[in-house]
A and B are shown apart, each in its own frame.
Chain A
Amino acid sequence: MLMSASVATLPGAGRSQKARLAPHELFGVALQGLRTRRLRAALSALGIAIGIGAMVAVVGVSASAQANLLNLIDRLGTNLLTVTPGQTFLGQNEVLPTTAVPMIEHMQHVDSAAPVYQLTNANVYRTPYVPAAETGGIGVDAAADNLPPVVGTSMASGHFLDRVSARYPEVVLGAEAAKILDITRVGGHALVYLGNSWFQVVGILKPAVLDSSLDSTVFISLPVAERLFQQLPNPSEIYVRANVNSVPQVGNLLPATADPQNSSGVQVTRPSDALKARAAAKGQFKTLLLGLGAVALLVGAIGIANIMVISVLERRGEIGLRRALGATRRHISSQFLTESALLALLGGVAGLALGAGATEVYSVTQHEPFSIPLYVLVAAPLAGLVIGAVAGLYPAAKAARLSPTEALRV
């Protein structure tokens, strides 16, 4: 209750008696408090910056790695289907009929098909003197000359099988096979020994991401294989590029088309699905690292609480003065709470920059695209703000509880 004792002419007469502090004034007071202790503010914000930076980097790096895989999938296309013989009920291997390839090629919505024929009794060696058992795990396939574009790979050097390869002993090496045979360049003396004769290496493939089994294989042309082994075996795998919009329909029709008499013996897969699964899996490892970042953040928060407690003790004089000037307990606690929140917000923003920088370094060195999820831009500073507010609760309450006269006596 106000019983105005003052006459109108007296100082202070007729004024509202409330103690007020507008939000922007509170902000200014808190900023002032931080500005007068710059180094300390910077060091305690650093704790938060490191924690948030670590978390942003984890999210950014894994997002970049994922983006890389997704880009790869986009580049290779998701419209590749592979047709392979399945297994019988008793676990024996089925065979694809020789008619499968022309049947598939005539299907609607099929852009192209490239079969390979595994030559099971052929092996490839660097020289005839290599013991027969040391095959290096390299398979020998007869392949159609359109194989590389269909499986989404290209030549690392040389060229793929062509019309000349149909008449002469020429061979193309998969990326891994070339490594095992230690052949890095084509032409000249790049020869391999295959089925009792020398073959000239005319090309080396780049890794085939959609089907890595092709990497440890060497390829010869269909006519040469036919001559060498009297007869072509049944196709061991048929790669099919379907119209992008009709991939599922084509997939559904493929078994019956490849083998109308025994469609259940035909297996159809979509290699890009496996890559997508890998992209999703890339996101999993980050949980652990995020946990580590959270620990760093906790340490940073404790650092801020610690600094704020010290700050309250040091600034008792200021607190007493403010109380004398009309600050309520709530004004004092809000001031310290705002300082603490601002400090951590600053740390959050710096952490965002740190984490983005780390992601950038990673993406440049790994040749992966730079990617940080949008929500991180909001979440990182917000996390700082919340952590600062929580860390400031105790020091702020302590400051508000301080007796003003005791504070003034310092």
Chain B
Amino acid sequence: MLTLNQVSKQYAGGVVALRDVDVEIPDGDQVAVLGPSGSGKTTMLTIMGTLERPTGGEVNVAGYQVGKASDGQLAGLRAHQIGFVFQDFHLQESMTALDNVANGMLYTGLPLKQRREAARSALGRVGLENRITHKPKQLSGGERQRVAIARAIAKRPLIILADEPTGNLDSKSGGEVVALLHELASDGATLVLITHNPAIAETFARRLKMQDGELVADECS
């Protein structure tokens, strides 16, 4: 269960990015977050991902109260239970696809051999088994994002958080990436995906709409 209870986030300088947000996402749900730029989508996602702490309200992620947990506990949570996918991939250019994915589990404490095994199987699941030794430069945008997705899911996380994963892709690869995320999360992981593409949002059973830091709609279809 992932819950946000009256969550606010105010940055130094007085900018309010999030205002009294209440969300409850049961395990295994797939949720799209929609909204214009600056509506607080990314802030909400980073709070769900424990990368930031709220300035008000309570956040519960996989049994941890984020406000009270230590830096080490939250890092452990991210290392084991949360997979991030970013708009601009954040792959390391000097490393092969395999090592980029294996590096995603660096902080789990798994030995390199096991990390590589998991990475190999994750790359297989995203359909890149024959791109294992390629470096990011040698891959297309869609392939790069699939490497990033493999990195997020290789540790079999409880929660997958994707921040506009299709933002840098053409609509065809974007569609493929979203379909892949749906499929990968179908084994029980919670998926929260930010997008401002309504067509992509339509593929989700539940859609949260943000506006000026507030949650303005919570639709289920």
Contacts and interface: CB of A to CB of B under 8 A. Distances in A.
Given A5-B1, A12-B158, A405-B46, A328 B75 contact: yes
A349 B192 CA distance: 51
Interface stretch (B100-108, B175-183, B195-203): B100-108
Contact of B76 (A11, A13, A19): A19
B107 to A, nearest CB: 4
A325 interface: yes
A21 B84 contact: no
Given A2-B64, A12-B81, 10 more contacts: A1-B63, A6-B62, A11-B189, A17-B73, A20-B107, A20-B109, A22-B109, A324-B49, A327-B75, A408-B51
Interface string B89-127: 010101000000001111111001000000000000000
B156 interface: yes
Interface in B166-213: 187-189
Contact of B72 (A3, A19, A35, A322): A19
B52 interface: yes
A321 interface: yes
A13 B156 CA distance: 9
Interface string B14-58: 000000000000011000000000000011001001011000000
B75 A12 contact: no
Contact of B188 (A10, A36, A320): A10
In the complex, the 10 A-B pairs of residues with the closest C-beta atoms, listed nearest first: A326-B79, A20-B109, A326-B107, A3-B63, A19-B75, A11-B156, A328-B75, A12-B158, A19-B76, A19-B79
B113 to A, nearest CB: 12
A323 interface: yes
Contacts of A11: 156-158, 187-189
Interface string A148-169: 0000000000000000000000
A25 interface: yes
B83 to A, nearest CB: 9
A237 to B, nearest CB: 77
Nearest to A331: B107
Given A10-B28, A405-B46, A17 B188 contact: no
A22 B111 CA distance: 9
A316 to B, nearest CB: 11
B129 interface: no
Interface string A190-205: 0000000000000000
A127 to B, nearest CB: 84
Contacts, number: 127
Interface residues on A, range: 35 or more
B71 interface: yes
Contacts of A13: 158
A404 B51 contact: yes
Nearest to B91: A321
Interface string A1-38: 11111110111110111111110010001001001100
A7 B63 CA distance: 12
A329 interface: yes
13 contacts: A2-B64, A6-B62, A10-B189, A16-B76, A18-B72, A19-B79, A20-B108, A35-B94, A323-B78, A326-B76, A328-B72, A405-B42, A408-B51
Interface residues of B, number: 42
A6 B27 contact: yes
Interface string A321-365: 111111111110000000000000000000000000000000000
Nearest to A15: B80
B46 to A, nearest CB: 5
A317 interface: yes
Nearest to B73: A17
B208 to A, nearest CB: 19
B77 interface: yes
A12 B63 contact: no
B79 A325 contact: yes
In this complex, the member of A12, A35, A322 whose beta carbon has the largest number of chain B beta carbons within 10 angstroms is A12
B76 A405 contact: no
Interface in A269-322: 317-318, 320-322
B155 interface: yes
A246 interface: no
Contacts of B76: 16-19, 326
Contacts of B112: 25
A19 B107 CA distance: 5
A324 B86 CA distance: 10
Contacts of A18: 72, 76, 79, 109
Contacts of B84: 324-325
A12 B86 CA distance: 21
A26 to B, nearest CB: 10
A12 B107 contact: no
Interface in B149-165: 155-158
A3 B157 CA distance: 16
A23 to B, nearest CB: 12
B27 A10 contact: yes
A324 B72 CA distance: 13
A345 to B, nearest CB: 22
